[in-house]
Structure 1
């Protein structure tokens, strides 16, 4: 077994599935959920948790994106193309979420072992490799220049990115999040972000180095593996990988004081997004 997957080898793993909740389940709820779980897990008051989530036609902006000089027109462009924009409570840059994108969060305590900064990334990378090991051994983690939200742990096949991994730490809790482009066109998603940046920058000088996006650097797993994968297919693969790691995979939801803490984090996310909500006339 990959050494990084050993971190998920436990007597039981908590599993919270938000992949089928539909368009009323909004991305700000997911980020509030992960902050809630990260806080509780960091205090060793909740167990290590795997969470899945799907959101419809949402562009998730990083904090740096809110400094774009012509952000209002960029948001109008997104809205006109059927996308809602939100800003997450962490770094990174804009990414696309839609019905063909599966997000997975791994949430575990920092106190469990001495964690280096890359350990969370490596754990997620190992999990994705395991999920698709019967289909390919060509998944690589390295920055794909020309992709949106580029980073050292972009996941790609033959140089085309299909996933990006981010990490957030709160009071000794670690949340590692990945978006997996499962179906439809990866380059069309990238074109949306490319056009957004071009409009929102509008040839102005910026203090932040926003990516110059080349849409053909991105693809979905369905395109890369030449097969019609669905969210359901990939969920099955995830569950199969997790069952190999634990004798007890426990479906669950928030309960007890987790719910109160979630409401607190949700209010913080709503406050963070008030300016964007005004721009979108919500």
Structure 2
């Protein structure tokens, strides 16, 4: 009689306990009581701490941008202020065959108390237009902050595809989040109107008595000699000629407006000289 005796190693592994998430490799946008933690690329969901939090609840734990036909390659993160971040990336799958990348993706994230806005722009430096399908994958778990800090995970809830006109909704018990999706109109000014003061872009706005004041702006896409900006109101007059020589409170003489071509951008701008 032959008996096979086989030794079996004892299972000495110890189940790992939940660990408090680390913060060192993540970035945050904050406007109390709302904050968003993400990777430096802007993606939310790659680390346990990631998410959009309001007060003591994590509403979204996943925000992932995608572009059909191209990988998104992060190249820079800009910290604009405590509540705003800009994420710059390349979309070389949409580019041409030349060596220098000329199509990039710019995502601006701005947190406000009780909300967050993300502007997604594809900036095309090619001579020909590009077409791309942009997706933004969202999910939420409504985990309590003390659960996240303890390394625990909530139950993920899929965001509704669409409710109403361009609005997605997710909710749980008494918590509710609305995600509005749509194009946003942009004001544009002539590129010559943009000057830099202390390293930040802005324009000189013409006010009462033809005195000027410096107004910081966030610049966007350029089309010809026109640049999209945030930070101005429609109808404001800005200095175009000689703007770089002006200082706060200087007075200008407004030149008569010239007829604009039919395809000109709609944002008005006063042309002025010192």
Q: Same fold (TM over 0.5)?
A: no
TM-score (norm 1): 0.26
Q: Which has the higher strand share?
A: 2
Q: Which has the higher helix share?
A: 1
Question: With CA pairs under 8 Å and 6+ residues apart, which has the higher RCO, 1 or 2?
Answer: 1
